[in-house]
Amino acid sequence: MSSTLIIAEAGVNYNGRLDLAYRMVDEAKKAGADIVKFQTGVPEKVMSRFAEKAEYQKQTTGAGESQLEMVRKLMLKFEDFIPLKRYCGEQGIRFLSTPFDLSSVDFLDELGCDLWKIPSGEITNLPYLIRIARTGKPIILSTGMSTLEEVGAALEILKKNGAGEVTLLHCTTEYPAPYADVNLRAMNTLRETFGCRVGYSDHTPGIEIPVAAVALGAAVIEKHFTLDRNMEGPDHKASLEPDELREMIRAIRHVEKAMGSGVKEPSVSERKNMPIARKSIVAARDIRRGEILTEENITVKRPGSGVSPMKWFEVLGTPAVRDFGEDELIEL
């Protein structure tokens, strides 16, 4: 099994501060993530002044401001991403940022990003899909809130306009997402329907569901994280803290190793235990040479280094080849 690509989603959890974004890069690297991902957008081009906050955003940041006013305080400027991307390279972790408007697509393309992450909310944004597809770069597409038909329509647009390889992420767009709404099996439906690599973008509390997704074959895992869940902002409450992110990645890497080849055979580590745990045919009492072996004078006991009990009926009725003491392994 190839290694799962793990995206540590910083999102806007740096609260508009470049120094916090740098710290998030450090924590993502320490946790063992492959990619640290941010969000790039010009707030006035992403949402109108009439756009309301989502219910979870009202609960975490209050209902007294619009979504536009909230996002203005959270986003970094374009120029901030230039040193941030450079810093990721210096720390040895891959930089990625999701664009939320066409000017951000163009900026990140010029910045040299070699991979796109399309969020669930843009899956019906036709001009956006076309602009990204025409760069010819590979794409990771989240499919939260989508029907199978909408996913198919987006894929058709991307492919028709020259997109690179597309990986589909199953996702439940709620923060935090209820376990009962996750529907992990839909990840397999995406794979079977579209023949794409699939993965999972997680918004549930804790780390269990992304680990389970890896066991089901997720090629990519995306998970929000924060420096501190008690910070102000819309996404902190539904994010992992650094130690939890490390634990999730550790668990995923263990599951990858445990998946194996699928061939059912004794492993290298357990072969040494076969003679200890299995049994052999042994003398139930003292037996003299030439005595016929019967169910009264032979039995089955450990160790498993002698004649296998699977040959029980082949042994019954044969003469003892020599004298055997009680518990000695029977020889043929």
Write the pLDDT tens digit of every residue in 174-216.
Answer: 999 999 999 999 999 999 999 999 999 999 999 999 999 999 9
- Nearest alpha carbon to residue 198 among 184, 208, 209: 184
User: Does residue 326 have a pLDDT over 80?
Assistant: yes
pLDDT at 2: 65
The CA–CA distances, whole Å, from 308 to 9, 273, 279, 322, 328 equal: 55, 15, 7, 19, 14
pLDDT at 1: 46
The CA–CA distances, whole Å, from 265 to 185, 237, 254, 270, 294 equal: 28, 45, 20, 10, 33
Which amino acid type is present at position 19? D
Measured in degrees and rounded to the nearest 5, phi and psi for residue 152 equal: -60, -40
Query: Helix or strand or coil: residue 160?
Result: helix
The pLDDT tens digits of the residues spanning 219-256 come to 999 999 999 999 988 889 899 999 999 999 999 999 99
Order of all β-strands in the sheet with 94-99:
94-99, 35-40, 5-11, 220-224, 197-202, 166-171, 139-142, 116-118
pLDDT at 61: 82
Q: For residue 59, give the H/E element and its range.
A: helix 55-61
For residues 108-137, give the mean pLDDT. 98
Identify any residues that bridge with 99 across adjacent strands, giving them in sequence order. 40
The pLDDT tens digits of the residues spanning 252-280 come to 999 999 999 999 999 999 999 999 999 99
User: Does residue 56 have a pLDDT over 90?
Assistant: no
Report d(CA 25, CA 84) in Å as an integer: 9
Is residue 40 within 8 Å of 104, Cβ to Cβ? yes
Q: Which pTM does this prediction carry? A: 0.89
Cα atoms in the 13 Å half-sphere on the side-chain side of 159: 11
Is residue 227 within 8 Å of 24, Cβ to Cβ? yes
**DSSP assignment letter at 286:** -
- Nearest alpha carbon to residue 225 among 18, 29, 16, 54: 29
Query: Helix or strand or coil: residue 285?
Result: coil
For residues 128-140, give the mean pLDDT. 98
For residues 34-55, give the mean pLDDT. 93
Higher pLDDT, 51 or 137: 137
Is residue 17 within 8 Å of 227, Cβ to Cβ? no
- When pLDDT is cut at 50, 70 and 90, the band that residue 283 belongs to is very high
Instruction: Return the C-alpha torsion angle 305, 311, 317, 323, nearest 10.
Output: -10
Higher pLDDT, 37 or 69: 37
Q: Which domains does the chain have, with CATH numbers?
A: 5-259 (3.20.20.70), 268-315 (no CATH)
- Nearest-Å Rg of the Cα atoms of the chain is 30
- When pLDDT is cut at 50, 70 and 90, the band that residue 80 belongs to is very high
Identify any residues that bridge with 283 across adjacent strands, giving them in sequence order. 298
Instruction: Give the pair of three-digit tokens for residue 148.
Output: 């199978």
Instruction: Give the pair of three-digit tokens for residue 171.
Output: 């996702």
Query: Helix or strand or coil: residue 125?
Result: coil
